[in-house]
Amino acid sequence: MGTDIHTMDFSSGDSLAFRQQLEINLKQLHQLFEQPPRDAGFDAAAASIGSELEMYIVDHAGKPLPINQQVVSAAADSALTLELNRYNLEYNLSPYSLNSNAFSATEQEILEKVQNLDNTLSEFDARVAFIGILPTLSSTDFGSHCVTDRIRFHALVKTLIERRGSEFKIDINGLNPLQLEMDNITLEGANTSFQLHYRVQAEHYADTYNAIQLVTPLVLGAAANSPTLFGHKLWAETRVPLFKQSIDTRQADRYDWNQPARVNFGHGWVREGAFELFQEAVRLYPPLLPVCSSEHQAQTTNAAPALSELRLHQSTIWSWNRAVYDDVDGGHLRIEMRALPAGPTAVDMMANAALYIGLAEGIRPHIKELLPALPFATAEYNFYRAAQFGLDANIIWPHQNQNTQQKSRLIDVLRDVLPMASEGLARIGVEQREANYYLSIIEQRIARKMNGAQWQLNCLQAFEQRSNRDQALHEMLERYMALSASNYPVADWAMPA
């Protein structure tokens, strides 16, 4: 999905060739679904999870430090990759089979990677922070000067500005509403996330994807960790409106039809399977990076096709839950869950992952009975309310025997469905001890009504009583980073005396 490219100037001929190749890719994918190449083993591997962890590089004062290329060179770790802004990095973590302690194995890998990265960062007098939005950011941390020097990033910025114009307006309500204008998309780099990749077999894809869409608001509310930007107290998960507004290419007219947003929650429940999501991406969105691969497999080969153009195109459509095709292991399908923030700790992130996959699998057998009780627009409403209010959100939750809709507190719904997460994890082979451990962390969050966003706001309020907002943000971040390094769940973190 993050394949680099080698040009940032595209002609009409490039766009035409790319669109033609997308059509070929769709035909190859459809053929793969209809007649999988047995020798290649398409869709044969067991369910697994992988993940991507984004992070900030900060200096001794907790300010972003734009040295990601130097750090990647010094670390010499193929799992460590660059992000859009010069002070962001990403770890591409290993995939693990779900019946092989996948959650604890990922947690351990995060801790080991972070330890190694800390050793590298010490050479630069730098540190790493796992947090949805760094609270010490300022407007000077954004602009063309902060873009990582890679052709892909420069091309993306250039193309989005050409499509949208030079003014990207940010308007986010909250306790201290924020309105501003930027001349580029680098505000997108304020967001760091923990992205899950769940390998799903084609025959179960529609039901699993719909179940993940349904439960995303519950998990997002429990995991929220991004309550501020530029000192403004905004949404519990401010990443959601910030990402949508900072990268939207549409010239919206409220009285006319509008192009679909490239950052979106989706366009409806999936009816048949994964293919419709890939087809939708090609039919609805013009290419941003029309770069054709120099190598194409003949359709007669038994190997799973690379579908390079389709995968590149998918990487420029930022659905919160995104369909992914990969030709590795004979070809397989994944669902990329992109809504969760980075942090606060490795154990918290894995508790979020266990809740996410457990709930989806627990609900999947009932999904066809539940969907008629929840129009897709209402599911999207739930997503934004969870992002805005976190555990305090009110949402509409479906019931099999309902005869009307009504609002419920997200935290109450989460408490009620938590046993389904345990059932779902057991169904897919997760050991009971592992499931119980990570879901108990969610139970504590519910009982104490405490996630990363709420802890940040409570801590900030305490520090503001004895200092100004800027100093309070700095002190809050320092305490956050110290507790994050301890790997204790956020619900157990103490408030300042």
Minimum mean pLDDT among 231-240, 254-263, 315-324: which range? Answer: 254-263
Angstrom distances, CA of residue 484 to CA of 104, 111, 424, 434, 448: 17, 11, 29, 21, 18
Mean pLDDT of 390-410: 94
**Mean pLDDT taken over the chain:** 93
- 241-271 pLDDT per residue, tens: 999 988 775 555 656 677 888 999 999 999 9
Minimum mean pLDDT among 197-201, 327-331, 479-483: which range? Answer: 327-331
Candidates 2.40.370.10, 3.30.590.20, 3.40.50.720, 1.10.3720.10; CATH matching 12-492: 3.30.590.20
Is the per-residue pLDDT at 275 higher than 60?
Answer: yes
Is the per-residue pLDDT at 312 higher than 90?
Answer: yes
Token code pair at residue 372: 């008629």
CB atoms within 10 A of CB 212: 26
- 10-32 pLDDT per residue, tens: 899 999 999 999 999 999 999 98
3-state secondary structure of 23: helix
- 143-161 pLDDT per residue, tens: 989 999 999 999 988 888 8
- 342-363 pLDDT per residue, tens: 999 999 999 999 999 999 999 9
Separation between Cα atoms, residue 353 and residue 421, nearest integer Å: 11
Best mean pLDDT range from 53-62, 173-182, 251-260: 53-62
CB atoms within 10 A of CB 481: 18
Is the per-residue pLDDT at 299 higher than 60?
Answer: no
Banded pLDDT at 107 (limits 50, 70, 90): very high
Interaxial angle between packed helices 205-223 and 346-363, expressed in degrees from 0 to 180 and rounded to the nearest 10: 140
- State residue 1's pLDDT score: 44
- State residue 89's pLDDT score: 98
- 408-449 pLDDT per residue, tens: 999 999 999 999 999 999 999 999 999 999 999 999 999 999
- State residue 246's pLDDT score: 84
Rounded to the nearest 10 degrees, how much is the dihedral formed by the CA atoms of 81, 146, 452, 380? Answer: -90
Sequence spans of domains, the chain: 12-492
CB atoms within 10 A of CB 349: 25
